[in-house]
Amino acid sequence: MAHRCLWIQFRKKQRKPLSLFLLLVLFIVFLVQSWKAFSHISHEASQLNPVPTMTVVLDAGHGGEDGGAQAPDGRLEKTYNLEIAQILRRYLQNAGFSVIMTRETDDDLSDPSLPTIHSRKEDDLRKREQLVRDNSPCYFISIHQNKFSDSQYEGAQILYSPNHEESQKLAQSIQESFASFLQPNNTRTPKAATDSIYLLWHIQQPAVLVECGFLSNEEEAVLLQNPVYQRKVASCILLGLAAYLETEKGVVIPSASWYDDAITSLGAETTLWLEKTKYPMFVRSVAFLLPNGTGNAQAVASGIPWKKNWLPPCAQWQPGIRLAGG
């Protein structure tokens, strides 16, 4: 009996270390496999969302007692600015940007207790400038409308801050976007801001001011208050920003996140222009368009079949060829 007890104790002493060893091996295998799985998921996530979080401070110009320019029908610039900025904010957020609005209502940022309109305006501008400082690094985009004594002038004009070398590049990209996608007769070039434009003169981040059109031109003023046209304006700004980010920063916004907003807004009646040298990102997102049996088109973006009925019937589309819609 003593021998049997000794034998039982012997077996326990031999198997216990073995069991612990197996458990340790299994635990190590589990850790290794978990790490591989996590690495794979992280890699896949990075492929699906390669865009780093970027901040845009979006400024709807004027507001409150500062109405800005006035259209022939009496509508004030501040209203146009806010409506377009709100559309653009949604598009930017869909594209993955963090968006800070300087104003979201018909108000300014000034202290109402200040005694004069001039002092309140200065306070408002300083606070908008501070918003940019508080959210740097960022891109600053200010939405405005133009006005001139001669009513014949029309089209977007982009101004840029002289304080940051990227401002001019961003302005050029947005200016080209308007000419390419919405205003084919617009031959304007971006202009450097002077000290008369407080925010662009003082902001140290990449900063542009988009004059979307001329309120002094009665036809364009009517267009600019049309929600459909406002979405097209916002789309041009988005496309210009996206093209700038790819060509200058090597950052490609995933097509599914922003393309639908922009193209749906531009619509079938818009004259579109694809040019690889200016819009490589856009051309790559729309790898090619194939006419289908209905005269519409099937867009293939990043290998994902994507049907859109935004081309007019029987349209002949080729990259680099101007397409007259409608």
HEC string for 81-147: HHHHHHHHHHHHHHCCCEEEECCCCCCCCCCCCCCCHHHHHHHHHHHHHHHHHHCCCCEEEEEEEEC
pLDDT value for 187: 94
Which residue in this structure is represented by tokens 């867009």? 299
Q: What is the pLDDT of residue 26?
A: 72
Q: Give the pLDDT score at 184.
A: 86
Residues of the chain with pLDDT under 50: 1-13, 38-50, 255-256, 268-326
Q: CA 63 → CA 104, 156, 313, distances in Å?
A: 10, 21, 43
- What gap in Å lies between CA 308 and CA 257, rounded to an integer? 15
Q: Which residues pair with 210 in a beta bridge?
A: 143, 158
Instruction: Give the pLDDT of residue 72.
Output: 95
> Please, what are the domains in the chain?
55-249 (3.40.630.40)
pLDDT for residue 246: 83
Secondary structure (3-state) at 79: helix
Phi-psi domain of 164 (left: phi exceeds 0; alpha: psi -120 through 50; beta: other): beta
Comparing C-alpha atoms, which of 316, 323, 187, 185 is closest to residue 263?
A: 323
Euclidean distance between CA atoms 61 and 310, whole angstroms: 32
Cβ contacts of residue 113 below 8 Å, gap of 6+? Answer: none
Q: What is the pLDDT at residue 210?
A: 98
The pLDDT, as a whole number, for residue 95 is 84
Side-chain half-sphere CA neighbours of 14 within 13 A: 6
pLDDT score recorded for residue 77: 98
Q: Are 96 and 253 in contact (CB under 8 A)?
A: yes
What pLDDT does 277 receive? Answer: 32
Query: How far, in Å, CA of 304 to CA of 151, rounded?
Result: 46
